[in-house]
Amino acid sequence: MADREMLGLDSLVDVLKAAGEPTRMRLLALLSAGDLTVTDLTEILGQSQPRISRHLKLLAEVALIDRYQEGAWAYFRLRQEGRRVALIRELLASAAADDAILARDAIRLATLKRTRAEKAQAYFSRNAAEWDKLRRLHIAEGDVEAALKAMVGDEPVDSLLDLGTGTGRILQLFEGIYRRGIGVDASRDMLAVARSNLDRAGITKASIRHGDIFNLPLDGQSFDLVTIHQVLHYLEEPEAAIAEAARMLVPGGRLVIIDFAPHGLEHLRDEHAHARLGFSHQTMGDWLQKANLSLEKTTDLAPEGGQEGKLTVTIWLARDQRAVESVADMPRQRLHAGGV
C-alpha cells in the first residue's frame, strides 16, 4: 500500500538528487540484490571506504536504504517498501541490460556471493553429519514442511519473521506468500549459510539479521506471521522466547512453533545441546495463553509405526487475540459514539 503513496515535489527532488549520481545509482543497483557491507561494496566498486560510506549516508538520509548492525559489521540493503523505493526500482528497471559498468558490478557481485557461499558451505559441511543424525530421529523433513504449509495456508501475508532462522529454509519455504521477510539468528556462521541460500534461491525480499531471540532488534507489532522452527528445545527459557515472539505480532497475527513432543532421549542433552526434551500440549498451551495468544491448531507428526527411540514433531499454530477483541468491542464503541 505504501508504494501507492505519491511524493510531494520536495521529496521527489530529494530522491532524484540522491540517486542522480553514478556511484550512488550503482550502489542502489547492488543493494537491490541483497545485504552487503561497506567492505563488500568497496571491493565491488573499487572505491575507498570513506567515499562509499559518504554515499551510503546520503542514501540513508532520504530513506532509500536500511542499515543494521551485526557485531562489528554494518549491513546495508535497499528498503523493501515505500514510494521512494518504488521509484528507484523503476529507474533501475530502465537501465540498459548491456550497460558496461552495471554489468561489471553484477559480475563482481556474483563472484563475491560465490565466495560467501563457499565459506558458508564449509561450515555447513563441518556440521552436516551431526544434523543428519538428528534428522534421522524423526519423520522426513519434507513431510514436516508439507504439514507446515498446509497449516499456514497460502493466503498472502505482508510480513514474515523467522526466529532462529538457521539455514533460512523457512524463508525459502514461504517465499510465495510474504511480501517482506526477516530471519533472525544468534549464530553468525548460520547467518552466512542463510544468506548464501537466499542468494542461491534468488530471494531478495527477505533479509537476515543477527539478534537475540529474547531481545529482538525489531519494532514490536510488525509481523503478520512469526515462525519458530526447532529452536525452543535449545533454550533454558522457551516461555520468554514465546513472549518476545508474541510481541512482534500485529493484532490478529499468527505464531507457528515447530518442535518436538516430550521424549526420553537423554543423550540429546550432551550430544546436541538440547536443554529441553520436548514440549507437551499442556505446557505449550499455557505458555501461549500467558503470551495472550489463542491456540488454533495442533498437529503431531509421529514416526512410522511409533518406533521406539524416535521423535514426534509437533506443530502449534496460535493467533494474537487483539483483533478479535477489537471487533467484539466495535458495536459498543459505535453506540457510545452515537452510532446506530
- Label residue 339 by pLDDT band (50, 70, 90): very low
Category of 105 on φ-ψ map: left (φ > 0), alpha (ψ -120 to 50) or beta: alpha
Question: Hey, what amino acid is at 252?
Answer: G
> Phi and psi (nearest 5°) for 27?
-60, -45
Rounded average pLDDT over 44-58? 95
For residues 141 and 74, membership in a common domain is answered with no
Would residue 122 count as lying in a domain?
Answer: no
The CA angle 297-302-308, to the nearest 5 degrees, is: 150
Pair (27, 134) in one structural domain: no
Q: Which residue has the higher pLDDT, 83 or 337?
A: 83
Choose one of 43, 70, 95: the last residue of a domain. Answer: 95
According to the model, what pLDDT value does residue 128 have? 55
With respect to residue 117, please indicate whether it lies within any of the assigned structural domains. no
340 located within any domain = no
CA gap 105, 43 in Å, rounded: 10
pLDDT of residue 135: 67
Domain count, the chain: 2
Query: Are 24 and 162 within one domain?
Result: no
* Domain match, 302 and 153 both: yes
Say yes or no: 159 and 249 in one domain: yes
Q: What separation in angstroms does the CA of 80 have from each of 20, 216, 227?
A: 20, 20, 20
End-of-domain residue from the set 77, 95, 113: 95
Q: 126-172 pLDDT, tens per residue?
A: 665 566 566 677 888 899 999 999 999 999 999 999 999 998 999 99
User: Rounded to 5 degrees, what angle do the CA atoms 312, 176, 131 make?
Assistant: 35
Do 196 and 265 belong together in one domain? yes
Residue at 232 is within a domain: yes
User: How many Å apart are CA 328 and CA 330, to the nearest integer?
Assistant: 6
* Domain identity same for 59 and 137: no
Parent domain of 64 = 9-95
Confidence (pLDDT) at 74: 84
- Given 41, 68, 95, the domain boundary residue is 95
Does pLDDT of 47 surpass 60? Answer: yes
Q: Judge whether 313 lies within some domain.
A: yes
Cα–Cα distances in Å, from 305 out to 29, 68, 133, 238, 279?
53, 48, 20, 30, 21
What is the pTM for the complete model shown?
Answer: 0.72
Same domain, 176 and 256: yes
Same domain as 77, residue 168: no
32 falls within a domain: yes
Task: Name the band, by pLDDT with cuts 50, 70 and 90, for residue 94.
Answer: very high
CATH number of the domain that 24 lies in?
A: 1.10.10.10
Residue among 87, 77, 67 nearest 11 (CA): 87
Give domain status of residue 1, yes or no: no
Please tell me the predicted confidence (pLDDT) of residue 57: 95
In the DSSP assignment, the letter for residue 321 is: S
